[in-house]
Amino acid sequence: MSSCCILGLGYIGLPTAAVLAGSGHRVIGVDVNAEVVATVNQGQIHILEPDLDQAVASAVASGALTAQLAPQPADVFLIAVPTPISCGADGIPKPNIDFVLAAARAIAPVLRAGNLVLLESTSPLGTTQQLADVLAQDSSIAPQQILVAYCPERVLPGRILQELISNDRVIGGLTAAAAAAGKAFYATFCQGALLTTNAATAELVKLTENSFRDVNIAFANELSLVCDRLAINVRELIRFANHHPRVNVLQPGCGVGGHCIAVDPWFIAAAAPDCTPLIQTARRVNDGKSRWVIEQVQARATSLADQLGRPARIGCLGLAFKPDVDDLRESPALHITTELLVAGLEVLACEPNLADHPTIKLQPLEQVLAQADLLVLLVAHTPFRGLDLAGRQVFDLCGVSEAPGPAGS
Q: Which residues are catalytic?
A: 206, 260
342 CA to centre of own chain: 25
Kindly give, in sequence order, each residue whose CB lies less than 8 Å from that of residue 245, ignoring residues fewer than 6 positions away: none
CB atoms within 10 A of CB 403: 14
CA dihedral 148, 154, 159, 163 (to 10 degrees): -60
Nearest partner of 95 among 82, 86, 108, judged by Cα: 86
CB atoms within 10 A of CB 289: 27
Name beta bridge partners: 68. 30
Dist CA 155 CA 164 (whole Å): 6
Would you call 284 exposed, middle or buried from its count of C-beta atoms within 10 A (0-12, 13-18, 19+)? exposed
Dist CA 52 CA 159 (whole Å): 10
Task: Please tell me whether residue 395 adopts helix, strand or coil conformation.
Answer: strand
Dist CA 166 CA 155 (whole Å): 10
Q: What is the DSSP letter of 325?
A: -
Task: Judge whether 40 and 10 are in contact, CB under 8 Å.
Answer: no
Question: Dihedral sign, CA of 154, 112, 28, 102?
Answer: negative
Provide the strand spans (E) within 337-384. 346-350, 374-377
Amino acid sitting at position 103: A
Name beta bridge partners: 405. none
Task: Judge whether 59 and 27 are in contact, CB under 8 Å.
Answer: yes
